[in-house]
Structure 1
Amino acid sequence: MTFTAVVVYPNEPDTTFDTDYYLQTHMPLVAKHWGPAGLKSWNVVKYDRDLAGTSPKYLIAATLVWESEEAVKAAVSGETAPIIFGDIPNFTNKQPVTLAGSTIGSQEIS
């Protein structure tokens, strides 16, 4: 069973977010340092609107899939964590909201 962490960034009037830096520098940095620690994959979604067509509460969400809960706990408290967390001010002026949990079901739809 995989363990998933979701990192979302607020979409507030004063939010700044450098999407190019995030995708080209930050996420490869995450993969480089946390891949060996058990990170299996990541994806990033940029929200343009919510389902009602209005401005979304969150601007960006990154989903990180880990081999286990223990792996993510070790990574976020390990020696490379300051590198990852210290890079946040390079692409945004907001602190992310983080969520984590075990995958309890999924289905591929063809």
Structure 2
Amino acid sequence: MIKISILYPYRENGRFDTEYYATRHMPLAAQLFGDKLKGWSIDIGINAGPPGTPPPYVAAGHFLFDTLDDFYTVFKPHQKTLVDDIPNYTDGGNGTILVSEVKVSV
């Protein structure tokens, strides 16, 4: 299984609308990706470990696919729609993409 993660770095005074991201952007992506998408989740950063420290990432969105080709097949036709939606929830740009292989899932 392949996981596509989009990591949004924490920025002092940066804008990131977690409500919009969780209720509009990620569900939109899930709908566009259809049955190739095997699951999705969101992490909202709290801190970097010690209390009171800012998190390294304000948020991360994760998508699960059987193969990387499955991701590319569904992402490419909808890339513009999803990228055009980014300003609705953040002023911090596209985020950093991490592609990883999931070995164990619970």
1:13-58 CA distance string (max 9 Å, x none): 131011111111111101110124x111111011110123321111
- Runs of 4+ aligned residues of structure 1 deviating over 4 Å after TM superposition are none
- Residue 83 of structure 1 aligns with which residue? 81
Shift of 1:61: 0.9
- Count of equivalent residues: 104
TM-score by length of 1: 0.86
Structure 2: 5+ residue runs without aligned partners?
A: none
- Whether contact under 8 Å (2:26, 2:61) holds in the other structure is no
Indicate the RMSD between aligned Cα atoms, in angstroms.
Answer: 1.4
1:56-85 CA distance string (max 9 Å, x none): 1110011111121101122232x2221111
Shift of 1:107: 5.4
**What one-letter code is carried by the residue in structure 1 that aligns with 2:75?**
V
Structure 1: 5+ residue runs without aligned partners?
A: none
